[in-house]
Structure formats: structure tokens, C-alpha cells
Structure 1
């Protein structure tokens, strides 16, 4: 037997019910002569026979029925041919579906209100188990378990548990009883204390408390607590509103009881009105304040302080929603706030605004962002007395109107719109492409007073600050009149053009020309084919002005370069330069080339004429191109037979009266191909 589960009548009265998924569990103490067992503890009676006749030999209390006797169950009883009877009467609350389970050796019968539900009545050597499903009505009911042991070991185990499947359990718990709601007006921490009596259902999961405003039929759940707790608290808004509460029990299936009788409470009014939304407009004569009306407010107090002060001073009290502060000093920044008060003197502060008496800032400011910068336009403030204005830019908002944020807004214009309003505009060309900036504007009137800033404007510049990738496939082909550069088309979608330079290790590169996007060829020329080694650089530029720049002795990002040796078409021989003349050759865009002739004065008086010679590569000699000598006073010559698309070399001779010649220096001219 299991003496640890016995209890006295006094101890049994304090037994606590635990709704486990199996059996009821309580603590028990040894039985006394006059044994009573508090529900839901079983009263156990042991008989010295198997017919339950006569006075029980032993009576005790058991929290559960779970015994395994290998000998006599108690002193004075035989180990065979004895009987045990357990009885309990308990309140099942709303009742519902239950599972009765019995396991025993030999005979066992289970009754509910004297109605037999389980009958395993025979002498056995092993244990047998049976479970039956029953529906127990609401209220109090008695369970009786009769057990007999004829021979051998005695084992018996009996339990009853609620069936909580949603398809089986459709029975709602009973509404809690003894429900009360007490409002505790504890200042700002006022709350409602709620209490009720425990439900009797074995499958109770907990309780829910609901609240509704007086005059409303809509309930709001405000508390949920476990089945072992029978109290809850709630803190309704302290607005002076009246409310009703009710409690409902719910079981493990989710069935919820009806509500208890409604319990009313009335809260204290400790809730301030809604915060007013304050705005300020600064004009030359005053700071003008306005705010939104706050529900329940009956009065507003206006407070002001200098922007660097630590405390506010009340300057007005009004029932309206606006105030004009003419007492603020011009040009000084003030912080303002407004407190809304209700009839109970509950107050709530507005937001804080800063305002400085000043002239009006630029009005109706708009911003557009073409690729070259940020363009601002605005209308003149009333009065039309702007003497100057400034634009401030920052990467953060709000924008401080400080020197560090001052930007150079150029291309300033003044126009008049269709309505006759004066419209001003300027362009901020600076700042990074793709960056987001915040701007404000101020204006100065003809009296020399500056306004506060306009409303912040947020502007995102289009594009980026990333240069296109360097070109690929750059090649150079030496020509008789220059060098042809060729490269692959750039994959950059925002490409604007290419820039071509001749790189000089000694000094700044020479800019040769610009090639539009979609073209990937450039001819350097006209350029003398004299066998020099040249290095050329091609730099792609996008529509946002990003490209690799030459600073100092290097390019600031990778570029494509190519080195080429020009064709060498120079004459292989040249006569001694002894003539008192010099020649400077040139090439025109037409079909002719020529030269300028600069001779000493003696040539005009002493020479018989001047001949012009051109180097002929085929024969390796200088060929005269003048059919008859030029006059000794000639200062120029046009070569109508100049070949196209090549480099030519000229010299001239001074013809003496005796027909002898002295020769000048050699100079080159370059002709482009026809149509170039």
C-alpha cells in the first residue's frame, strides 16, 4: 500500500487541485479514527472481505488511486481476499466529456452517481486496463471505485481526465462567481483591482477580463491570467471616463464562458489634453504664433525663452489658438512652447519652435537639377525690397546659415512672371553629382536687415562622380601627314565625348581635340612626318563632367595611351645653307601650299631671281617647281602642284646674274588628303 498518500481531515481540507492531463494530485496525511476527506481527495476504505460487508478495517484519504500491494494493504488486513473502496464527491462546474481509465489485477468497478461505467470483475493474474468516455453533467457528482483482491499481488490505478479535443468538448465553462472590480485612485498610478472565485472545471485554462466604456457595447480584453490565479489588474486611462468590467473563464479547448455581472468604475481625470502643434512665422514687427486646438483644452499658456537660455517665462494666457509676440527683440532667436490645460488643470506642452523677428525670407522657392548644377527660382517677398541674398548648402538638415555652409550661387537673374511678380534665380554649379544636399536661402532688404532662412529644400544631383572606364584597343597608325588613332567604343552609357592629348614627359600635355561619343577615331595632323616618337592619350568624359584630369606630372585615374614612331619623310641630303634668304613653308586647307620668303635687302638689288625647290623622294633629289625664277623681291610663293596627304620639304635658291645659285634652309609643309 502507499501510506504516504493518507491525510487527516484537517490536512485534507487544504489540499490543492492540480488539473494535470492525468489524475488529480493532492498531498495526504495519515488517517484518524473519524476520517473525513476534503474533495477532491478520495476517501479510501479497506475491508477484510471481498463483499464490502461490515465496518471498514481502515479508512484513509488518497490524493490519487495508484496502489501496488505485494502483502497486506494495512495492518490487520489479509494479503488476499480483501476489498478497497474509494469515493469522492466533487463539483465538476459545467461538466463535459471525460475519460475514465481503470487498471487492476482481479476485480474493479467504477461508478458515477451509482451508475456503473467500468466492470472488470474476475480473478486474474495480470493487469487489465479499460478506458471509457463519459459525459458528466454540471454540478456535483460522486465517483466510487470498488476493488477486490482474491489472491496474489494487488495492483489498482484509476483516474479521470477531461477530454479537451475541439471536436469533442463543446461545453463552455461556467461564468466566474464573486466577481468584483475596485478602482484604486492612487494618483498617476490609479488602477482597477479585479477578483473572482475559482471555477470548478478540471480543464480550466484561465480567465479573461474585459472592459468597455460606459455607453458602449464593445468589449476590449484587458487581462488574461492562468486558472490558478483569480485576480487581475488594469489601468484604464485616467480621463474621468466610466467603464464596466466583466470576467470570463476559458478552458483548454478554447471554450469561453459567458461574462459575469458587469462591475462599474469611474476613473480619475489625470490625462492632459492632446499636445498642440505649434508653428511660428517671423515678420519684421513680431513673432506670430499659431497652434492647433487640443481636445478638452479650455486654456493655453504661452512660454518664451532666448535660444541659449535654460528656462522659459510665461508671456501670455489665452483661450484662443494664436498669439502675436511684439515684445521679442528684432534679430534675436527665441524658443516658444504652448501648454494646453483642461478643466482639471491637466496640462500638456506643444512642440518647441524657434523664431527670429526678421524680414520675410525668399518665397515659393523651387529647385531643378539639370546636369550642370542645381537651379533655384523664387518670388520676391512682399515689398520687393531685396538688396542681396545668400544661399546655404549642407549635407544635413536643418541647414545652419553659417559661413561654412555658404555657397556661391552664380548666374543670378531677375525676371518678371505673367502675374507681374519679380522672380529671381541662380545656379549652384558646385557639389558632387549623385549627392543629396539641403538648401535654405536668406535675403537682405534695403535697410540692411537679413531674413531668416527659407524652408529647407532637399535636392539630389543627378549622375555620379565616377569617371568612365579607360578606352580599350587604342592603336596608332603613322601617316605621311600625321597619326591616325583608333580605339574601341566605350561601354559607358553616359559618355559625352573623348579628349585626345599628346603626352609630354617634361610638361603639361597638349590638348589636340575632342571626339563625340559614337566616334572612335582621331587623326593627329597635319603633323610633319619626321620620324619623331610620340605618345598620345585618349580620355573618355561623361555627361556629368567626369574624366581623368592631368595634375602635376600624372593623370588622376587610369587612361589609355599609345606610343608611335612617325614616318620619316625627311630629305636624305641638303645643300649648304648659304643664301641670304630663309623660307617658312605652310599648308592651306585648299589644294595649294606655299611659303613665306624672307631675304636680305641685297637680294633685291643684286640677284637675278629666286627659284623654289621641293624634295622628290622617288628620285632622291630636289626638283625645281618654278618654271621661271621669281622676282628677287618676292616675299611668298604658292605651290599649285603640291601633292595631297603627305609631308613635303622646300628650299629656295638665290640666282646670281651669272646664273650660279646659293641655297636657303629646308622647311617642311604638310598637306591633308583631299576633303579633309
Structure 2
């Protein structure tokens, strides 16, 4: 037993308790007092017990990030190999909570607790050869919770493993907290920091930098800090953070405080375009010595927020130096839209630019210089040497330009006492007036104009366009032997005063004798008018040359003329090589080129063969007048239906001498459909015509019809094929219907049927029309 003397020798130290005996030295060591263990919020606190009831003082307490142990002997030095227990415990804030898919496995005793509620209870000695593996899922709400795993080893090996990854859920994370924002003026960076979310399934954070007007930049991070370099524009910036978990659930966004950057950013270059700069001329006022140029710079598209101070700069070279010439402060004159330079000298080229200054005193770069040349406000000198030369086509004006800065000339004209009108503007010292009326006196006024629009004094001259000549076409006896003169004149020529016809014994003396002439119009087209005139007092004279002059309304006559000899009574030679070939579209006619030099035309008659008293003749039909150089003709009159046709060809010269007729006969091909079309169709007015290679159909609108169908005969199939259906409206009137067949076969005759379709779907009897389509090549 311990005596009082021994007790007196007790010494208590910080490390334990020592006992000293007089005759012996015995050291007794008490268990050390274990310091408190603190583990991270994702680390389990692990305690070792020397029993399986987890009672008494733990052998050791430490931290374990992963529960995955396999002990073949004692888990700790000083502990037994069997009959021990280990406990893992984690208490933390789980944020918004979530679900976890766990698996607890190992030997002997295994237990899982969540907030004190037992989830797994496998508490028996399993031996080394077997064990337990328990899967499961637990879900927890937001806030703080405790997860605990107990393991007891009674005999043999000791194994334990616990996994608990977060499983998919739809719970969004909580908004980040503790957001701080700082701005470093030296580096120009704004920085933000925030507390890490408590949820265990956070994947990233969305970071948004915002101003009061909206977001300016956005990115993601897995950390809890962010930095951004905002513009030094005096605006407020802040960071807004949003947590996103592995299941792409987005939590609420939390924003930190604003920081304000210093305004060191110049405003944008003003939106001043070259088209916004113009030059006008002011009267200079009473004290001025005359008009002055003024430069106007329009700022109507510039907002006060872009400045509000705007400056106009001027230089004499694009590279400068620039001088300030005008300032506009929209705070003082909010309605103003122009900067003006009223000090520019005329005829000088300047370079203008503009800049903007904001309320912090930051000034933008200047706009690109725009070259502006000041106008010349002085009028140029008047033209000299103005002259006019008239012919039958025009009145040609020319003049000597002044030696100053005139760049164009305005030409005015006035007929008689009418007011002058601008005829045109010349860029050289001449002008051709093509609008002058033949034989009418016109007064011309010419002004010199400089680039600025200044106009000189007026210079005038009068002239008169000549009347175009009347050209004799031919001169020959008519059926009664009287001299017949044909006269041709341009359709736009003023010949309202008639014609003057002269005769003479030679071409040189043709204007000797005035002859009586009562012109009768016999032909007119867009270019020419032809007249017939009987020279009743010419036949008995010895003159053989005749000419004609046109007379304008004011009595002026044409100045040029052509003499015509009255002696050509010989007809050209007969046409040769005249042949007819039957084609699917009609008849092709060909003949040789005439050898006569004075051929004026060919006359072709298309008729029907007729036999009278045993004599075969070509009965009268349609006549065609063809050009002198023509050697062919395509006859598409009537459809090729197997009938006989005849063609008579004559050649006529300039004196109207006709050859005898040359006649050919041919039998048409028969292209009619083999399927007959019965009469009695309610569709009326159907006709077909060729137009630019297409077949055009028109017919009367039928009351009660809701639509129409168009069929074309297909010779290869021997049937009518439908090619169109519908309302087939005429674009110009409701009274008719219309269809244009662009696919009509060229080089043949096309046959068409048109039927009406009624509301009940029935179809009327067809109407028939056909057109011959000659080849176009």
C-alpha cells in the first residue's frame, strides 16, 4: 500500500504523475490529456475505441478525408487486434441540401446515422471471408446536418469503406454570400470575393459584371474570387455571382456593392460625315463688300450625351496645324444643330474636323479632315464670238469661252415672242439644238456659269433650222400617160406649206420652171410620208429633169434637192429561182436576188388556183410588198390543211416599172388533228395568234363558268393534251379570258381546244382554234 511518506513524495507535472520511493525507483505514467481536434467541413472526425461499445476515453482522435480502411492487425499502436471500434462523424452546413447515393461496406459491425437516424445496421461478426455491402440513398434539407459511420471489429481482419456522392436532384444552390468588391486605382482592376457555397455538388460559379444600365461582361469560375478591368468612364460597376451545381441547377444571383471608376475615357469621335458639311453664300450684311462663303457643319445626328461641347477646327492642310474656329455647347443652346465658319476666304481650300468634349473635360479625337473649297461668288465673263450654223437636222451654236473660271454654259431658246426656256447645258463651247422647228426663227441666249453657279451676262443670236428636202422617189407615166411624181419626206419635217416642183433640161438647171403639183398622200409610217403628184403641165415640155422642195408653214423651203430623170420605162428582169415548199406551218417561198440595180420592191400575191376554160390561173388573194433585198417569204395565212395554193411574184423598180408575174403552185401539208371537234361549244370568241414565238389564245368570258381548261393537239400521241387549267384571267379586262403558250412547238401548226368548267366539276364541249408557227431561226 502507499504510505503517507510515499504520498508526500508525489509530484504532479504537466506531463503526468510521478511517484518516488526511498529504496526503489518506480515510474507510473497516467494517460495524457488529449488536445481538442478540429477537422475541416469536408473531413470526418475519426475516433478509435478499445472496445466495440464506443465507451470510455477514445484511444485517439484525428481527421480522415476518406472512409476507406483495411487493417490486418491493430489499427493503432497500443491497441488490440480484435474487439475495437472506430467512429467517423461529420457535422456541417449543407447549404440548400440535396440527396446522396451511398454505399457502406466492410467486415463485422457497420452502422450509418444521418442526424441521429440509423440508416444502416449490420452489427455482427461476419468473419474475414464475408462481409456486408449496403447501398442506399438519403436526402437532407437545407442547413446543418450530421453524418456518422460506426465500425466494430470483433475478430480477424478489419475492413470498412463508405462512399456517398451527391446524386441528381432539382434543388438549386443557395445564393453566394459574403460578396465583397474592391477597386484598385493603381492597376485599374475591380476584384470580388465570396464565401464558398456549402452544397457538396457545386460545379462552378457564373460571374456577371454589371453597371446600372446592364451587364458588360460574363464568365465562369470554380473559385471564389474574380477580377475585371472596367473602362475608366466614371460608371459604377459591381459583381453578381450565381452558383451552379453538377446537375445544372442555377441558384439565385447575389450581387456585391458598386465601385465607381474615375472618368478618364474620352467621348467617341462625333458622328460628323462629309455629307454633313456644306457651303452656302451669305449676303455679308450691310457693312460687307459683297456675298461671302459660309461653312455649315450639321450636328443634327449628335446627342448632348456625346459631348456636350463640340468644337470645329480648320486647317489649310490635311495634316494641320488646326485652329479652333467655332464652339457649340448643347447645355446652353440645346436646340442648335450647326457649327458655322463665317471667316473662310473664297476660292480657298480648307480642311475641317470636329471634336467632342464631355463634362469631365475629356476631349475626343478629331474627325477625319474633310476638304472644302470655298466657292467663287463672282460671276464669270460673258461669252464672245457667238455664232450659229443651221442645217436640216439642227442649229449648231459655238462661241469663245471666257478666260476665267466658267465650267459650263446654259443655252436658252425662244421661238418668236415666246418666253425663253432652257434647252440644255454645255460643258464645252458649243451646243447642237436638235429641237428647233424647221423654218422657224429661234432666238438663242447663252450664259457662262462657274462651279459655284454664278452666271454671266446674256449673249444672244437668232437662227433658223433649215427645212429638210423633199426627195423624189420615182417619176413615170400613170395609166393615162400623165407624168406621175412620187415625193417622200421625213414624217417629223414641217412640210405643211406643201411642195414646190421644178423642172429643167438638165440636172444643173432643174430649178428653172415651177410646175403645178397637187400632192396626194399615198403612204405613211413612223419615219416617212409619201405623196403622189400629177404633173399636168409637164408632159408637153422638153424638160426631162424634175425636183421637189418642201415648204414649211412660214414659207421657208428646203435648201437641198435631188434631180429625177423622166425616162425610165423599162421593167426589171423577171424573178428567177421562184419556188414553193410545203411545211408543217405553211409554205416557204424562195427566189434569187434580182440582178437589176434599181429594184425598189417585190410584189407578192397569195391566191387560190383556178381553172377557167381549161386555163389554170392564180385567183386573187392577199398581196404583200417586200423589201428590194428580200429573197424569201413565210406564208402562214390559213392553216396547212392539204389545199392547193398559188403564189405570184413581181419585181418593181424605182420608176415603178413592174415585171410580169411568175407563178408557182403547191399543195399544203395536212396537219389537222385526226380527232374532229364538234361544233356547239358554249365557249365563244376563241382565236389564236402568234406573238414573239408563242401562241396567244383569247376568248369570251362565259357566265357560270368557274374555270377553263386548255388542250393542245399532240401529234406524237394522236390526242389533245391538257396544258393549262384555272381562271386564266385577261390582265386588261374581265370580258375576255387569256392564255399564252410559251411552249408552243415552233415550225408547225398548233391546234387548241378550250373548255369551260362549272362548279359541279362538269366540263363543256370544246371550242377549237389553231395558229401556224413558222420557225424563228
Q: TM-score, normalised by structure 1?
A: 0.47
Relative to the length of structure 2, the TM-score reads 0.41
* Higher RCO (CA-CA < 8 Å; seq separation 6+): 1
Structure label with greater radius of gyration:
2
